[in-house]
């Protein structure tokens, strides 16, 4: 038997950044995020005793192998996947883990958080462990933030695990309460019909941006703290707008959130995304750079009836545009037929080739 898991990536139209310390601990944060139909995938299979641990990322074309989970290296291109295997695989077990993604690295769509959620779900299915979606998100976030020390918050993990439209409320001193935002079906249809995901080809490195924000947060005269409060307030306004179907209010909150994101730190700003906004003009009611900023994807909300014209303009700029569709399932896992011995050996050869290339 081979375990399979799929998790959606997310967009964060309001409040992103207020889920990360120190702000969320000092003041409490609020994040609105949406699970969208672009996914990451994880497949895991037990191997014969003594076969070792094999990990391969199809997207990175990178692999690593070890005698067991305890002897996996602490660093490397696959240190994220290695961290999950070290935490969750029982000592002495042999394993093949393979991941893939429908979004590029540095997308701003919470891809690493979604990978973590998918890997936890796949390993849980393989090992017979049962967790709620929120518990799956908590474990995935713990590995990223605590075990590996990656900077950032937890919204990526919860968006991937829960799917749908969520408000994540972070409490001063610690703790978080997630809740689904109740939205009318007509509102969902309008959002899907009038939204686009745009990729300009400029990836970002969220870890370094989070470090920039943290340093700026403590500087006298910095705009970072004020921008954080604005982001949190706009998440509350956006939630009310979504719940009442007031999409003009949603658009205002989306635009204000993007401006506040750019005020967090200069590394959050995006020249390419500003160029898209300028070119579209009044065709787009609002838009926001996704994630920590600095590049990656842009969520656009077009004026009703103007999405196709927005799409044409975006493509003229040389950017890539994807349709926008909600994923209400969140993380899902199932069982598949096992890889054959020949397929396992092919992955072993791929990993050996990666090691030979350094």
Question: What are the boundaries of each domain within the chain?
Answer: 2-332
At 75 the pLDDT is 87
Q: pLDDT at position 203, please?
A: 63
- To which residue do tokens 């749908």 refer? 164
Tell me what pLDDT residue 14 has: 98
pLDDT of residue 211: 79
Provide mean pLDDT across the span 128-155: 96
CA angle 273/277/278 to nearest 5° reads 115
Residues in CB range of 14: below 8 A, 6 or more apart: 30, 31, 32, 231, 234, 235, 237, 238, 239, 253, 254, 257, 288
Provide the CB-side half-sphere exposure for 290 (13 A, CA).
29
Pick the CATH number of 2-332 from 1.20.1640.10, 2.30.22.10, 3.30.230.120, 3.90.550.10: 3.30.230.120
What's the whole-number mean pLDDT along residues 321-334? 97
Query: Measured in Å, how far apart are the chain's first and last C-alpha atoms?
Result: 32
Name, in order, each residue with C-beta under 8 angstroms of 95's C-beta and a sequence gap of 6 or more.
44, 45, 46, 47, 53, 54, 69, 85, 89
Taking residue 131's Cβ as centre, other Cβ atoms within 10 Å add up to 15
Parallel/antiparallel/unpaired status of strands 53-57 and 195-199: unpaired
- What are the tens digits of pLDDT across the range 259-299? 999 998 877 888 889 999 999 999 999 999 998 776 789 99
Task: With beta carbons less than 8 A apart as the criterion, state whether 46 and 52 touch.
Answer: no
State pLDDT tens for residues 181-203. 999 999 999 999 999 999 987 66
- pLDDT given for residue 90 in this prediction: 95
At 199, is the secondary structure helix, strand, or coil?
Answer: strand
């Amino acid at each position: 038997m081979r375990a399979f898991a799929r998790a959606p990536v997310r967009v964060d139209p309001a409040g992103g950044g207020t889920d990360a310390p120190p702000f969320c601990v000092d003041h409490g944060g609020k994040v609105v995020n949406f699970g969208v139909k672009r996914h990451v995938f994880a497949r895991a299979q037990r191997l014969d005793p003594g076969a070792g641990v094999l990990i391969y990322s199809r997207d990175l074309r990178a692999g690593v192998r070890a005698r067991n989970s305890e002897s996996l290296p602490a660093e490397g291109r696959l240190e994220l996947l290695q961290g999950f295997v070290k935490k969750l695989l029982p000592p002495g077990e042999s394993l093949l883990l393979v991941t893939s993604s429908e979004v590029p690295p540095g997308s701003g769509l919470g891809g690493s958080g979604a990978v973590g959620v998918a890997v936890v779900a796949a390993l849980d299915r393989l090992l017979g462990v049962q967790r709620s979606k929120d518990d799956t998100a908590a474990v995935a976030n713990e590995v990223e933030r605590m075990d590996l020390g990656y900077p950032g918050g937890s919204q990526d993990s919860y968006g991937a695990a829960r799917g749908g439209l969520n408000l994540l409320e972070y409490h001063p001193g610690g703790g978080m309460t997630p809740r689904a935002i109740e939205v009318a079906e007509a509102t969902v249809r309008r959002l899907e019909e009038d939204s686009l995901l745009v990729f300009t080809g400029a990836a970002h490195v969220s870890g370094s941006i989070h470090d920039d924000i943290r340093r700026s947060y403590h500087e006298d005269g910095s705009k970072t703290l004020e921008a954080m409060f604005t982001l949190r307030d706009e998440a509350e306004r956006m939630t009310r707008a979504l719940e009442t179907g007031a999409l003009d209010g949603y658009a205002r909150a989306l635009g204000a959130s993007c401006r506040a994101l750019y005020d967090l730190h200069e590394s959050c700003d995006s020249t390419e995304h500003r160029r898209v906004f300028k070119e579209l003009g009044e065709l787009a009611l609002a838009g926001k750079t996704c994630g920590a900023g600095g590049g990656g994807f842009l969520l656009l909300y077009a004026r009703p009836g103007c999405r196709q014209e927005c799409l044409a303009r975006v493509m003229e700029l040389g950017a890539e545009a994807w349709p926008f569709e909600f994923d209400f399932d969140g993380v899902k896992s199932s069982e598949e037929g096992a890889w054959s011995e020949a397929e396992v050996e092919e992955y072993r050869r791929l990993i050996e080739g990666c090691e030979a290339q350094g």
